[in-house]
Structures are given as C-alpha cells and as structure tokens.
Amino acid sequence: MDLDRDARRILDLATEARAPAAADKARVEQKLAAVLGVGVIVATPAIATEAAHAASTVVGGAKAAGGATLKWWLASAVIVSAVTGYVALSTKPQAPPPTRPIEAPQVTPAPVPVTAPSPTFALDEAPETLVPSRPARATTSKKRDTSNSLGDELELLHRAQSAWRAKDAAQAMTLLDQHRSRFPRSELKLERDGLRVLTLCELGRKPEAKALAQKLLERAPRSPLRATIEESCALK
Amino acid sequence: MDVVSDRARDDLSGLLAGAPEVPAGDSLPAPAAGPVSVVHEDLSFREVYDRYFAFVWRSAANRGVRQAALDDVVQEVFIVVHRKLPEFEGRSSVRTWIASIVRWVVTDYMRKRGNQPAGDELPEQTASTGAMPLEELERKAAVQLLDALLSKMSEEQREVFVLHELEHMSGIEIAEITGVNENTVWSRLRAARKVFQEGVAREKARGSREQA
C-alpha cells in the first residue's frame, strides 16, 4: 500500500513545520558547549597558531573592554586549550566557523571540598583508562549507583578542570581519582584521562603522563583531545 | 517532565543544563557493524553537528518528544555523539549511526517520562518561516494530524514509518537501526501506511462533510 497525494502532502507539511530554526541550533550548541566543557571543535596544530594570533588581538580587546564575558557562540575549546593559552575566535556573530578552535567559556570554579589528601597515581592503578569505553551491558549486575548520573560526572570533571586551570594540580588529581572511583565505567573516560595527562604534566610526572597519553591515543586515535595531548609534556 | 536531573540543574546553575542521566550499564548505541558498507565519513564533531542537527531535531520530534523537551533530548544525542565519535569506525553510515543514538536516547526519555503528567508540554511551535498565516495554520494542522495518526500505530510501526516516510531511510538502513530483518521492516511499513492513509482519508471525509 502506498500513500496518496493528500497523505504525502501532510507528511511534507509536517516535515516543514518541524524543521528547526537557526535559533534552535544555536541554542542547543550553546548548551552543548557548556555541558561538554571539552570542546566541540577540534583544534589542529596548523590553525592553533593562527588562532593564537587571533586570540592575542580579539581576546585582548575583550579584556580591554572590561573583561566582558565571551559571547555565547564562543563555544568551549578542548579541555586543555588553556595550556597553550590560545583561543580561537569566530568572527561570525551568529555561528561558529566550521573548523576554528574556540575557547571554553569561563567557568566559575565550583566550591571544591578539601577533604582528601592528593593520592598518588600510578598507571597500574588505573586499568580502566586502557579498556574500551563502550559501556558494558548490565547483564551481570543490576546494581546501579544512584549517584551515577552524567550530571554528577560532569560536575566532578568540571571541578577537576577548574582546579587544574587554577594551577592546583594536586586538587585536580584528587578530583580525577574521585571520579575514577565513583564512575569506574564512565562514558567520559577519554575526557578524564586527557585531563589526567595534563595534570600529571603539571605535577612533573612526565613518564606517567607519557605512558597514559600513548595508551589513550592508541585507544582513541581520533579523539578530539589528540591535538591537546600532543601539545602537552607527555609527547613533547 | 525533563530529562535533566534536577540536581545537575540546581547545583550547576545552568552550566550543566541539559545534562542527561545515563543509567549505569545501559547500552549506548555502539558504532554499528551492520550490513551497510559505506566509505568512512571522516567528520569532525563540528561537521557532524552542522550536518545532522536538523535530522536529529526532526527525528526526536517525530518520535514523540515534546517541544519543551526537544532541546534536552537533542543535546543528549550530541553528547553521546561527541563521546562516541572517536570510536566510530565507519561500518555504517554516520546518519544510520546517529539515528540509532536518537532511538536510544528517545527511548530512554520516554521510559523516564513514563506516566507522569505532561506538564512540560507546550503548544507545538513551528519554525518561523515568514509564511502567511494560512500556511502556518496548514502546517500546524498537518503536525497535529500526523501526531494523531502516529499515535494510532504500534510502536514498531511508528518507528518504521517515521524513519522511512519522514526521514527517507532505506529498508536496509532501518533494519540496521531497529535490529530486525528487512522483510519485517517492509511488513511494518505496509501496516503503518494503512493506518496513516486511512486516517488521512477519514479526516478528508470529515472536512468535506463540514464544508457541505
């Protein structure tokens, strides 16, 4: 049975009606940038240099204007873009360009509970960094960590990121370890390990950073974090 | 109803707005190893977002996600895409892979929504196209009729109908997404078309009677 012309017309009209507006796309993009916090646009070394130049002028201008908050369309960059200090900016007011890296929105660091001493980290203590991040089916256990929501995970990672940005690498490592402990099967392992590599660099633990970075890139060679990790102490 | 955890919303003051809960152990759509062999589209997340945003948005709406929850559901889809894209090996088309993710996320949303009051259900809003009011009305009426008729289909029929008639996916692609064989896809589509066609005919007849 096929559909007649009237039925097709209904489908066409409904399809038109449900097409998203440009504002819908921009709004979701803005939210995504805030949620992911790790960048929705991949920086490449070639454009990073160009971006750094742009940042030095455009961001400088923004700061000179009173340190105004970056506009929403400046979506977040790779989690560690601040390492190299570059910021890539779009000159388009309505939408980010297709390939430019862009800076993470300035996130006010959440209060960080100072409770646990910074634990030491060894690669052999973090086997989950090396296993596929594809989630296991819940066939072996119905047990569910009631706190295991992506929101909780993101919150913890954001706090770790904020600590790292604030040069508090020990606290960042503590939070990353908390994350690993609470969310051993996290979907955000790649992001967590990327930040861990940088934190290890910050702590001067280059051999560990290098080992983790190599395994991370073996695991996900096309990770959006690749460029950042390659720029870090781990692979330099 | 909202897919966003209240805690995330409250605690992070919007920073994590839209962050979905991902049940531990639930299986996200893995990069498919289905029968469709395509050239790997080596896309960045940016490109995927630009290319497939409308598809995701429309698919979610056609699967019954209400206007007020569309942002969150679409956002959740792209969070999964962002996480999984580095692992995507191109054994299926990107569109098929993303359609699978939409399916998973919407199913999760519907499950969480359950029987709760639909307090978030705002009137459907159509994209502002600058069209004449009559055309807008026509579009809105079409959406209402479509939704009414989709609701008369079984879940399996509705899924196949949406993917084929609204998203123009092939039988093979739909089989890959839904995990059933292609014959079953066509069988469901026939039944769904019958429901839809008969519904349109009834509506047309009713309109004729009212005009008479």
User: pLDDT by residue (tens digit) across B168-178?
Assistant: 989 989 998 88
Alpha helices in chain B (DSSP H): 6-12, 45-62, 67-84, 94-113, 133-150, 155-161, 171-178, 182-211
Residue B23 pLDDT: 36
Q: What is the pLDDT along chain A (236 residues), one digit of tens a residue?
A: 788 888 998 899 899 888 998 999 888 888 888 777 644 443 333 323 333 333 333 333 333 332 222 211 112 222 333 332 322 222 223 333 333 333 333 433 444 333 333 333 333 233 333 233 333 333 333 344 434 466 677 777 778 887 887 888 999 999 999 888 888 877 677 778 888 888 999 899 999 999 988 888 887 766 656 767 777 888 87
Q: Kindly state the tokens that stand for A173.
A: 């490592």
Reference A38, options A223, A216, A203, A210; nearest CA is A223
Give residues 83 to 142 of A whose Cβ lies within 8 Å of B: 96, 98-99, 107, 110, 132-138, 141-142
Fold assignment, B1-123: Rna Polymerase Sigma Factor; Chain: A (1.10.1740)
Q: In this complex, is the C-beta atom of A158 within 8 Å of any C-beta atom belonging to chain B?
A: yes
Q: Does any CB of chain A come closer than 8 Å to the CB of residue B14?
A: yes
**Do residues A101 and A133 share a domain?**
no
* Whether the predicted model's global pTM rises above the 0.90 cut: no
A83 part of a folded domain: yes
pLDDT of residue B207: 74
Q: Are B1-123 and B131-212 equal in CATH topology?
A: no
Based on the fold, state whether residues A75 and A133 are members of the same structural domain. Answer: no
CB neighbourhood size of A194 (10 A): 27
CB atoms under 10 Å from CB of A184, counted, come to 14
Contacts of B20 in chain A (CB under 8 A): 150-151
Give me the domain span that covers residue A86. Answer: 22-106
Please report where in the chains the tokens 């069209």 appear, as a residue.
B131
Residues in A 16-75 with any Cβ partner in B closer than 8 A: 16-21, 24-25, 27-29, 31-32, 34-36, 40-42
CATH (domain of A229): 1.25.40.10
CB B28 within 8 A of CB A45: no
**In this predicted model, what pLDDT tens digit does every residue of B91-124 receive, in sequence order?**
778 889 999 999 999 988 888 776 443 334 444 4
State whether A229 and A127 are in the same domain: yes
From A147-151, A176-180, B64-68, B143-147, the region with the lowest mean pLDDT? A147-151
- Whether A4 maps to a domain, the answer reads no
CA distance to partner chain B, nearest, from residue A40 (Å): 6
- Report how many domains make up chain A: 2
Looking at the fold, whether A29 and A63 belong to one and the same domain comes out as yes
**Burial class, B162, CB count within 10 angstroms (exposed 0-12 / middle 13-18 / buried 19+):** buried
The dotted CATH code for B131-212 is 1.10.10.10
Q: Return the residue in A73, A147, A150 with the most chain B beta carbons within 10 A, the one to mutate for interface testing.
A: A150
Q: In chain B, what are the domain boundaries?
A: 1-123, 131-212
Instruction: Judge if A229 and A146 occupy the same domain.
Output: yes
Best of B11, B43, B48, B49 to disrupt the A interface by mutation (most A CBs within 10 Å)?
A: B49
